[in-house]
Amino acid sequence: MLQAIGLTSASRRGLPPAVDDLTLEARPGRVTALLGEAGSGKTTALRLMLELDPGRGVTYFRGRPLHRIPHPCREVGVLLGDLPGNPSRTVRNQLRMLCAAAGVPASRADAVLDVVGLSGLRDQRLGSLSLGMDRRLGLAAALLADPCTLVLDEPAAGLSPRERNWVYGLMRSHAALGGAVLFTTDDPKEAARSADQVVSIAGGRLVADQDAADFARTRLRPRVAVRTPHAARLADVLGREARAGQRPVEIVEESGSRLSVYGSRCAEVGEAAFRHGVLVHQLADETGDTGAPVPPAQDGADPDRDGARTRAARTDRVDRTDRGDRTDRTDRTDRTDRADRPLSAVRRVGGPLRPLRYELRRVFGTATPVLTAVVVAAVSVAIALVLARAGRTPQGRLLAAWPELLPLPPAALGAGLLGALAFGEEYRYPALAADRGTVPRRLGLLAAKLGVSGTLALLLGVLAVTADAAALRLVFDGVPLRSPAEWVAPAASWAGLLVGCAWAGVLASGAFRSATVGLTAVLAVPVLVVPLVRKALDGPSAYPASGLAARLRGLSWAQWPPEADRLVHGAIRVMAQPVGMALVLSLMVLLCAYGFTGLRSRVRW
């Protein structure tokens, strides 16, 4: 059961609201069509129901507003426009990633693919799907968590008749299982054929709420379409014969040569034309649309300027709206005062229920990590060989393939790129909900992204060093390499650099919603921050910090093992370096920016 009460969108400059005091409901076991012309406020109404746009009013899903439902995706399935997704991701990987976000088993992806008829295309890339297949995938995503209610925005727009019939058949099947379906359309015939209830709106306001049979009888009356060069003469003939036979026939002159005859049949009109010698060019039975719903009169409007038929149609619609059989009318009246609430902020999208699983499927759902690793290894080996041939390069920089001219080694740049894509890719292809534009930045999701990106960065570092060492031994017979006397500090420095670059990319892309900005933040550390740190560290220190490790040992409750002293000294030595200190400062700034932009806002209801 979906009940929307008093929905009103935020006011626009000098314009009336797109949706104004709209009240409707979609009952379980029935398909409800929200009918209106383009610009009538259909999509805005859906976004208000889903708390995606600011406004007044309230929408109840089985008696609870959406923000009070712990897992909204299990209550309502949404399709607003096309399903966003990385074009290189496969159909199955996309749905398995959404399964982790919704907290449902991964096997559910294969089940809904069978339901929507895409089981044979599970390994197809999203970018290669046709419009019909893409719409089926969107419906599969909406059905993924087996919701009670479906909210679909023009699900059949642009599809072939065969695909449209399939979409409406799927909606019927969901309603037959006891679910509620609300979809928008601008085609009255489509609404009459596919829905059980038709809610007509115009100018963002309710015009009529009718049963589909009543809607078809009053709005889509059967008619006889006649095209003749003697339209006025034929209209007079048909009118005289209808009055003589006391039959209720309505004749409307559509144009100079076209008539629409309501209440008659093709045979009767053709016989009358033959008897009176009227030439007829076209004669056909049609199911006609009597015109767009008439919006309620605005303040200052003169209703007398409308024709008698328009006034009668308006009165008939108001009467039908007043006597519509709506359930829970008393309960809705009790809640009306709660619907008149001040403008509210846009609802924050909840994070994935299984963030680590979601992040792993997001990362490995495309070939980006593998391609990045291959490019990093190839570039790193090439640079290491060039440095070894030139000589005069310390062994640490040689294994890292980090010449003085480059701000960062290839492995660090690759780690920063993967970190920047962690959020930046999702802002380009939102994965958690259709048409929501952004992804949530909750602490659980952030921790998962930091953990996965840090692990990938370390693996990239191990791959690069291993590949460089193997190439040097193969080409130069291991001459440039020697056994290091101290490896803990260089290894800690290398790991800290890689993880720091990956985390900088994650935090920057999450704060600024762009993978490009995330990678730029990584490059800014050696280019901008390191020179500033070096300038700050120049000159003698008035108070030396020697003996810090011993003082830290004294603060600990438990006794440190002897090996821990070496690790602490190595970590302190790394952080004391300009690059290490610059990374630490950059991460602190980016973490504050991320918290300020992503975690500070809370919706108050």
**Same domain for 456 and 582?**
yes
Distance CA 356, CA 386 (A): 40
d(CA 409, CA 456): 16
State whether 195 and 173 are in the same domain.
Answer: yes
Instruction: Name the band, by pLDDT with cuts 50, 70 and 90, for residue 551.
Output: low
- Cα separation, 259 vs 193, in Å, equals 25
Whether residue 565 is found in the same domain as residue 487: yes
- Is residue 177 domain-shared with residue 250, that is, in the same domain? no
* 593 band by pLDDT with thresholds 50, 70 and 90: confident
* Average pLDDT estimate for 561-579: 57
pLDDT value at residue 575: 53
Inter-residue contact 19 to 55 (CB < 8 Å) = yes
Band of the pLDDT at 534, cuts 50, 70, 90?
low
CATH number at residue 235: 3.30.70.260
Q: Which residues are CB-contacts of 470 (< 8 A; sequence separation ≥ 6)? A: none
Q: What domain count does the chain have?
A: 3
Label each residue of 75-138 as H, E or C.
Answer: CEEEEECCCCCCCCCEHHHHHHHHHHHHCCCCHHHHHHHHHCCCHHHCCCEHHHCCHHHHHHHH
Q: Is the pLDDT of residue 547 over 90?
A: no
Describe the strand order of the beta sheet including 197-202 as a list of residue ranges: 76-80, 149-153, 180-185, 31-35, 197-202, 205-211
| pLDDT surpasses 80 at 542 | no
Same-domain status, 359 and 484: yes
SS3 content of the chain, % helix, strand, coil (to 5): 55, 15, 35
Q: Which pLDDT score is estimated for 480?
A: 73
- What mean pLDDT is predicted for residues 222-234? 89
Q: Is residue 170 domain-shared with residue 266, that is, in the same domain?
A: no
Residue 410 pLDDT exceeds 90:
yes
Report the amino acid identity of residue 173.
Answer: S
Contact criterion met (CB below 8 Å) for 410 and 464: yes
Statement: residue 89 has pLDDT above 50: yes
Whole-angstrom distance, CA of residue 184 vs CA of residue 180: 14
Mean pLDDT lowest among 102-111, 252-261, 345-354, 513-522: 345-354
In 3D, which of 200, 149, 177 has the Cα closest to residue 1? 149
CA dist., res. 249 & res. 239, Å (int)? 7
Give the residue with greater pLDDT, 348 vs 519: 519
User: Using one digit for the tens of pLDDT, what is the confidence trace for 318-344?
Assistant: 333 333 443 344 344 444 444 444 444
Q: Which residue has the higher pLDDT, 502 or 547?
A: 502
Q: The pTM is what? A: 0.77
Report which secondary-structure segment, H or E, holds 59. strand 55-61
Of 165, 184, 216, the residue at which a domain comes to its end is 216
**Do residues 203 and 235 both lie within one domain?**
no
pLDDT at 235 over 80: yes
Output the CA angle 424-429-432, nearest 5 degrees: 100
Least confident of 284-293, 348-357, 360-369, 534-543: 534-543
Is 546 inside a domain boundary?
no
- Residue that has been written with the tokens 């806002």 in this structure: 601
What does the mean pLDDT of the chain come to?
A: 81
pLDDT of 294 higher than 70: no
Whether 523 is in a domain gets the answer: yes
Does residue 368 have a pLDDT over 80?
yes
Instruction: For residue 544, name the pLDDT band (cuts at 50, 70, 90).
Output: low
Ranges 8-22, 293-307, 525-539, most confident: 8-22
pLDDT of residue 370: 95
404 and 273 housed in the same domain: no
The answer to the question of residue 372 being in a domain is yes
Domain that holds residue 495: 355-540+552-599
CA 602 to CA 359: how far, in whole Å? 24
* Mean pLDDT of the region 512-525: 89
**End of a domain among 264, 287, 310?**
287
Strands 222-227 and 282-287: antiparallel
Same domain flag for 278 and 207: no
Mean pLDDT is lowest, of 20-29, 30-39, 241-250, 553-562, for: 553-562
Residue 229 CA: distances (Å) to CA of 225, 226, 234, 238: 14, 10, 9, 15
User: Is residue 350 assigned to a domain?
Assistant: no
Is there a single domain that holds both residue 105 and residue 234?
A: no
For residues 270-289, give the mean pLDDT: 86
Does residue 88 sit in the same domain as residue 120? Answer: yes
Lowest-pLDDT range of 72-76, 397-401, 437-441, 453-457: 437-441
As a whole number of Å, the CA-based R_g of the chain is: 34
Question: Beta strand 222-227 with 258-262: parallel, antiparallel or unpaired?
Answer: antiparallel
In-domain check, residue 383: yes
Residue-wise pLDDT tens digits, 171-195:
999 999 999 999 999 999 899 989 9
> Closest Cα to residue 109, out of 126, 122, 124, 128?
122
pLDDT at 28: 95
Question: What is the predicted pLDDT for the residue at 167?
Answer: 95
> Is position 320 within any domain?
no
Tell me, yes or no, whether 247 lies in a domain. yes
Q: Is the pLDDT of residue 492 over 90?
A: no
77/201 Cα distance (integer angstroms): 23
Most confident listed range (9-18, 308-317, 515-524): 515-524
Strand pairing category for 149-153 and 76-80: parallel
Give 259-275 pLDDT, tens digit per residue.
888 888 899 999 999 99
Share of the chain above pLDDT 90, in %: 45
Task: Lowest mean pLDDT of 26-30, 156-160, 217-221, name the range.
Answer: 217-221
pLDDT attached to residue 580: 67
How many residues are recorded in the chain? 605
Three-state secondary structure call for residue 368: helix
Domain-located, residue 93: yes
User: Residue 296's closest CA among 206, 198, 210?
Assistant: 206
**What is the CB-side half-sphere exposure of residue 311 using CA atoms within 13 A?**
7
Q: What is the pLDDT of residue 392?
A: 80
Domain endpoint, select from 287, 320, 343: 287
Residues 211 and 227 in one domain: no
Opening angle at CA 241, ends 237 and 247, nearest 5: 130
d(CA 171, CA 569): 66
Question: What is the identity of the amino acid at 395?
Answer: Q
